[in-house]
Structure 1
Amino acid sequence: MPTLPTSPRRRVVMIVIAAAAVVTAGGLWAATLIKSPAQVAADAAPPPPSVLTAPVENRVVSQTLTARGEVVIASTFTANTPPAAGQPGMITKIPAGPGTEVEAGGQVLELSGRPVFVLAGATPSYRDLAVGVAGDDVAQLQRGLASLGLGSGADKAGTYGAGTASAVDRFYKRLGYPVLTSGDPGAVKAAADAVEQKKREAAADPAAKPALAAAEQELKRLRAENVAKVPAGEVVFVSQLPATVSAVGGVVGQVAKDPVLTLAVGTPVVRAKLPVSQRAKVAAGMTARIVDADGKAHDAKVTDVGAPVQPEPGAGNASAEAPYVPVTLTPAEALNPSAVSQQVQVALTVDGTAGPVLAVPAAAIFARADGGRYVQVHENGATRTVSVVAGKVGDGFVEITPQPADALAAGTPVVIGTAEAAPATQGQGPGQG
């Protein structure tokens, strides 16, 4: 079909209609961009905060005090030169240097070529132990030798006789040293020579036999006296063994100085310093936790709480350390002696509940004008308030008793605060930036 010509008037009408359509579309698009001031403010406002909750827990509530501590030996034993031994000798050997653990019968020093060894005992070494000597020091010598398998025969406990002398002789042979004797070896030799002379005389003249018998009796007496002894300077009686050598009184080639020997006795313990204000909270028997330099944790108990100490000012008029209470803690499992002098972290459990109780974070509890304590439970988008009675407080938690008792249970979510949501970031349009 042929196309009909369009009149000028018709073309004008169509142009107007098209322009109106464009304007209408532009208006609709502009309407999406134009907002009222109230809408702009609403869009710029931050989103409502979200509620933070934490579950009610069934746990032990206790307060923990923390402090720095040092590993030390429970006690120290020092051995000086016994009065009977005179001046200490030259150090010729150190078989057990500092840090060495020694058992009963162990040699710790060699002074002027003679051994110094340790045995268990409470009575210090103060005299030579030889035939005819009796006392507690003899008894602990006998016990020490018996622990090494060297019995004292028929000797009475505490009396040094031939049986004890025999045990001493065998012990020194184990150490590899000649035993010293209590008598005069020269006198014994002279008596033995006299017996031989009397024997020759008696052979020639029977009248000399009584003289021979007397000489033989004297030799027997001298030999009985000239038996193994333990010089005062060669045995160190220690209250508890094993012990660890802490120091010796010099080096090889020097004359030993007192104390000749220092021993660390007993298992290592931890000494900590607590502020005086915490004194009433700590008592012997409390449980504790010790974390050593390697990060390993050890269970421990408080075994002693000392009196407050006021340190003296330091050198150069430096201010004194703050007053403190010394606390001794004993690990459940003995620490290695090598840990002595190491710094550790100590955590003391004080003022706690006897067992697990209902507890909430401290931030969950709030007070009202009526003086009561409350928590808010937030479940399924709804919030309700529960009255509670607060109990023990510790480590960020509070023991609670709900009112009524069944109003809360372990796992119930309680409000501990709110979190502001991050504002929305508006994107940049084309050509912006």
Structure 2
Amino acid sequence: MASALTRRRRLALSAAAGAALLSIGGVLGSMAIKSPAQAMADSKAPKASVITAPVEKRRMVKSIVFRGDFGTGRQTEITPTGSPAAGGSSGEGSGGGASRLVVTKVLAKPGDEAASARPLAEVSGRPVFVLPGKVPSYRDLVPGSSGEDIAQLQDALADLGHSRGGDARGHFGAGTKRAVAALYRRMGYAAPVTGERTREAVTQARTALEEKQQQVDRLASGATGEQQPTPSGSPVAPSQTEPDGAAGSLRLATKALAEARKAYDRAVAGDGAMVPMSEAVFVSRLPARITSLPLAVGEQVEGPVAVLTSGSPQLTGYLDPDLKERVTAGMRVEVTAESLGTTTTGTIRSIGAKVTPGDTSNQEKESGAQSQPRQDTSTVNGGVPFLPVSVSPSKSWNENLAGQNVMIKISSALTDSEVLAVPQAAMLTGADARTTVTVLAADGSERRVVVIAGVSADGMVQITPAAGERVKAGDRVVIGQ
């Protein structure tokens, strides 16, 4: 009995489930079937929407934008050509053999400031430093020498507080020697000196001076009545030694003594503290930036031990020649370095003659000397002709701008005050020659407003509502759909 009841319940549940499935299938089938009218409605294009832009109140400004490059300044390579040890200029070690030029210390790092008399490195134990001066280093500066390079050495010493004493400007005398010795003490090094050759010259001159002095002393004694020995050793009267007698001999000996004293003074003046070309390098503008220090401690010197860049970065812009009449010296500019994320200001200093990249004849005309090496300028400004524009900074250029390609923007005001302006795409001119804009209301309705067009700049046009028309800043105008 129970078994039969169970079977009937199962049959009833199965029938209910089947009915439910049929019902769901019917609903889905009805959703998939569209009437012809519905299908046509669905195939229509969607209702058009409009693109709008706000009416702005702004001062109309015309902008000219072009690119430019920052030069890195003048570079100076410091390469020692010898290594004189303190106490000698021959560069020989204690064993007499020529010493190797080896970096023994690096005293700065790239990015540091190279100031006057600040050692940058040591080569074979000797300092390498810079001094200010426009005459490049081309010789050792030694006592007794003269020239414009000596004058700039004296000026550099004076700037550091070391006087040349009584020396004439441009002459390396005793006062300059004292100043050079003080310079090296300031840096913590013994001053290099002229060496064995000049020391020997002093010794010889001193010996000659002493001999002449002794001769004068002997003759002076003879002039008082004492007999002078002959070469054989027997005494003779003074009148028998010289035709003019003792007085004449004394005069000649005194003259020779004076010449010996002058020779000794010259020898002394030429001996002592010096400034070797291997240690001091003149740089036209200081302070300078240390661009690189190529060598490490222990490396042999076969090239520069330091590379300096002096002077601020220089900006040259590449102006389209067609815009020449619109740009003049004195205009203010904005300079943007996109890679650094910085913007600064400046003023146009000058505008040069047209340059065609890769045209070497232009380079020769500009340099004024065909003997100068030609540089490949074919890639400057992408090879497109330009007018070089020199830009001065409102304040000093940031040194990080060196080597950067930048955007230069010149802005010229076209209106004295703020005016209403819309994008050029919002302006419509009808068959009646009237200019209108279409204002979109908040409810989606549109109205045409007659306007008078003014100046245009950077894609915007000044508008003034015609008599009886209304438009204000913030209204939305149609620019497309």
TM-score bucket (shorter structure) = 0.5 to 0.7
Q: Which amino acid aligns with 1:375?
A: V
Aligned to 2:364: none
Q: Is 1:397 equivalent to 2:411 in the alignment?
A: no
| Match among 161, 174, 177 for residue 149 of structure 1 | 161
| Match among 175, 178, 184 for residue 172 of structure 1 | 184
For residues 55 and 401 of structure 1, do their structure 2 counterparts lie closer, same or farther at Cα, with a shift above 3 Å needed?
closer
Q: Which amino acid aligns with 1:353?
A: L
Aligned to 2:475: 413
Aligned to 1:95: 107
**Whole-Å Cα distance in 2 between the matches of residues 238 and 354 of structure 1?**
50
- Superposed CA offset, 1:313-368 (max 9, x none): xxxxx9x9542536565554545545544x55524235553654423222332333
For residues 310 and 294 of structure 1, do their structure 2 counterparts lie closer, same or farther at Cα, with a shift above 3 Å needed?
closer
| Higher alpha-carbon deviation: 379-388 or 170-179 | 379-388
Aligned to 2:199: 185
For residues 310 and 279 of structure 1, do their structure 2 counterparts lie closer, same or farther at Cα, with a shift above 3 Å needed?
farther
Aligned to 1:22: none
For residues 129 and 405 of structure 1, do their structure 2 counterparts lie closer, same or farther at Cα, with a shift above 3 Å needed?
farther
**Whole-Å Cα distance in 2 between the matches of residues 75 and 135 of structure 1?**
25
**Whole-Å Cα distance in 2 between the matches of residues 197 and 86 of structure 1?**
31
| Match among 279, 287, 305 for residue 234 of structure 1 | 279
Q: Is 1:298 equivalent to 2:298 in the alignment?
A: no
Aligned to 2:233: none
| Match among 113, 125, 129 for residue 141 of structure 2 | 129
Conservation of the 8 A alpha-carbon contact between 1:89 and 1:111: no
Pairing of 1:202-221 with structure 2 (within 5 A):
207=221, 218-221=263-266
Q: How far apart are 1:135 and its partner, in Å?
A: 3.6
Give the root-mean-square deviation of aligned CA atoms. 4.9
SS at match of 2:311: strand
Aligned to 1:323: 384
Q: How far apart are 1:51 and its partner, in Å?
A: 8.0
Q: Is 1:383 equivalent to 2:451 in the alignment?
A: no
Q: Which amino acid aligns with 2:201?
A: A
- Superposed CA offset, 1:265-318 (max 9, x none): 212345566667666665554402313534233334455656444359xxxxx9
For residues 47 and 216 of structure 1, do their structure 2 counterparts lie closer, same or farther at Cα, with a shift above 3 Å needed?
closer
Q: How far apart are 1:129 and its partner, in Å?
A: 3.1
> Larger % of strand: which?
1
Q: How far apart are 1:105 and its partner, in Å?
A: 1.9
Conservation of the 8 A alpha-carbon contact between 1:351 and 1:392: no
Q: Which amino acid aligns with 1:177?
A: A
Pairing of 1:240-259 with structure 2 (within 5 A):
240-247=285-292, 253-257=299-303
**Whole-Å Cα distance in 2 between the matches of residues 100 and 413 of structure 1?**
57
Aligned to 1:426: none
- Superposed CA offset, 1:249-280 (max 9, x none): 866543434x7764212123455666676666
**Whole-Å Cα distance in 2 between the matches of residues 371 and 140 of structure 1?**
76
**Whole-Å Cα distance in 2 between the matches of residues 101 and 200 of structure 1?**
58
Unaligned runs of 5+ in 1: 1-36, 313-317, 420-433
Aligned to 2:4: none
Q: Normalization by structure 1: what TM-score? A: 0.65
Aligned to 1:76: 75
**Whole-Å Cα distance in 1 between the matches of residues 130 and 275 of structure 2?**
12
**Whole-Å Cα distance in 1 between the matches of residues 358 and 416 of structure 2?**
39
SS at match of 1:171: helix
SS at match of 2:73: strand
**Whole-Å Cα distance in 2 between the matches of residues 287 and 49 of structure 1?**
41
**Whole-Å Cα distance in 2 between the matches of residues 354 and 131 of structure 1?**
70
For residues 350 and 82 of structure 1, do their structure 2 counterparts lie closer, same or farther at Cα, with a shift above 3 Å needed?
farther
Q: How far apart are 1:73 and its partner, in Å?
A: 1.3
Q: Is 1:346 equivalent to 2:407 in the alignment?
A: yes
Unaligned runs of 5+ in 2: 1-36, 83-88, 92-98, 223-249, 360-378
Q: Which amino acid aligns with 1:90?
A: L
For residues 370 and 287 of structure 1, do their structure 2 counterparts lie closer, same or farther at Cα, with a shift above 3 Å needed?
farther
**Whole-Å Cα distance in 2 between the matches of residues 213 and 406 of structure 1?**
115
Conservation of the 8 A alpha-carbon contact between 1:364 and 1:414: no
Conservation of the 8 A alpha-carbon contact between 1:249 and 1:256: no
Conservation of the 8 A alpha-carbon contact between 2:59 and 2:413: no
Aligned to 1:120: 132
Conservation of the 8 A alpha-carbon contact between 2:173 and 2:269: no
